Amino acid sequence: MKEIKTIEFKEDILYLIDQRKLPLSYEIFECRTYRDVDFAITDMVVRGAPAIGATAAYGVVLAAREFLKEDKEKFLANMKEAMELLNRSRPTAVNLMWAIKKMKDLIEENKDLPVNEIYKKIKEEADTILKEDIETNKKMAKYGNQIVGKKATILTHCNTGALATAGFGTALGVVREAFYSGKDILVYADETRPRLQGGRLTAWELVQEGIPSKLIADSVAATLIRDGKIDLILVGADRIALNGDTANKIGTFMLSVLAKEYIVPFYIVAPTTTIDFDIETGKEIEIEERGSEEVTHIENIRIAPEGIDVYNPAFDVTPNENITGIITEKGIVKPPFKENILKLK
Binding positions are 47-49, 90, 197, 248-249
Residue 238, classed as helix, strand or coil, is: coil
The answer to whether 238 is a known catalytic residue is yes
Catalytic one of 38, 133, 238, 245: 238
* Rounded Cα–Cα distance for residues 132 and 54 (Å): 10
DSSP 169: B
Distances from the Cα of 189 to the Cα of 172, 180, 196, 233, angstroms: 10, 18, 11, 10
Closest CA to 32 of 54, 56, 14, 51: 14
From the CA atom positions of the chain, what is the Rg in Å?
Answer: 20
Contact 242, 341 (CB under 8 A): yes
Nearest to 221 by CA among 257, 193, 250, 190: 190
Give the distance between the most distant pair of CA atoms in the chain: 66
The amino acid at residue 58 is Y
What is the DSSP-derived secondary structure letter of residue 209?
H
Instruction: Please give the Cα distance from 214 to 203 (Å, whole number).
Output: 8
Residues marked active site are found at 238
